[in-house]
Amino acid sequence: MTPLELTRCTGATLARAEAFLPHIDAAMAEFGIDTPARQAAFLSQVGHESGGLRWLTELWGPTPAQERYEGRKDLGNTEAGDGYKYRGRGLLQTTGRYNYMQTGEALGLDLLAAPELLAQHEAAARSAAWYWQTHNLNAPADIGDYVVITKKINGGLNGYAERLALYELAQQVLG
């Protein structure tokens, strides 16, 4: 893949695509995102969730939804300040103490002690690809079930029109 192709698949600027390309290529290879169908689905989701590879740390208001991160046991946020400390990071916005712990163990990083590591290019790409693999997203990508993929990543269909537009473009770019 070239930086220009990555730009078209994610909505990123050329400079961002150039910076991320080696990390995204390596992460896709490491976690079996290895066909054009899988890559188109993965890259379009990553592009949407990160605002074109721009946002590696969740923009914090805090909004009412973000305030509800605090104390959410389903996210493992059990200590005061966990909501902010373990806010969304990485290309797919890993959120919550529990998810940081799981991701860190899988990637060999101490994300509980240093959550900001998830906002670095390599960890951001690897965490997204690891999430993709552990949530079995290659299967729906193989059959083109983009709704299932979006729901597993987003919990719903927020931003679906933009995601779908990126996906359709990525399919054209990747063949």
Q: Total domain count for the chain?
A: 2
Full domain range(s) for residue 85: 64-119
Which residue type sits at 108?
A: G
> Considering the entire predicted model, what is its pTM?
0.95
Do 46 and 88 lie in one domain? The reply is: no
What is the tens place of the pLDDT at every residue in 26-75? 999 999 999 999 999 999 999 999 999 999 999 999 999 899 999 999 99
Report the alpha-carbon distance of residue 103 to residue 76 in Å, rounded.
13
- In-domain check, residue 59: no
Do 96 and 11 lie in one domain? The reply is: no
Report the alpha-carbon distance of residue 14 to residue 16 in Å, rounded.
5
Do 112 and 125 lie in one domain? The reply is: no
Do 74 and 39 lie in one domain? The reply is: no
Residue among 145, 165, 122, 124 nearest 38 (CA): 145
Q: Is 161 exposed, middle or buried (0-12, 13-18, 19+ CB in 10 A)?
A: exposed
Q: Is 78 exposed, middle or buried (0-12, 13-18, 19+ CB in 10 A)?
A: exposed
Do 46 and 71 lie in one domain? The reply is: no
Q: Which of 76, 95, 119 is the last residue of a domain?
A: 119
The predicted model gives 134-148 an average pLDDT of 98
Q: The domain spanning residue 68 has which CATH number? A: 3.30.20.10
Do 115 and 130 lie in one domain? The reply is: no
Report the alpha-carbon distance of residue 11 to residue 75 in Å, rounded.
29
What is the tens place of the pLDDT at every residue in 62-106? 999 899 999 999 999 999 999 999 999 999 999 999 999 999 999
Do 30 and 76 lie in one domain? The reply is: no
Q: Is-contact 52 11, C-beta < 8 A?
A: yes
Q: Which of 102, 119, 136 is the last residue of a domain?
A: 119
Do 13 and 98 lie in one domain? The reply is: no
As annotated, the active-site residues are 49
Report the alpha-carbon distance of residue 104 to residue 158 in Å, rounded.
27
Do 13 and 49 lie in one domain? The reply is: yes
Do 50 and 128 lie in one domain? The reply is: yes
Do 107 and 128 lie in one domain? The reply is: no
Report the alpha-carbon distance of residue 132 to residue 46 in Å, rounded.
10
Q: Which of 103, 119, 135 is the last residue of a domain?
A: 119
For residue 110, the model assigns a pLDDT of: 98
For residue 37, the model assigns a pLDDT of: 98
Do 114 and 125 lie in one domain? The reply is: no
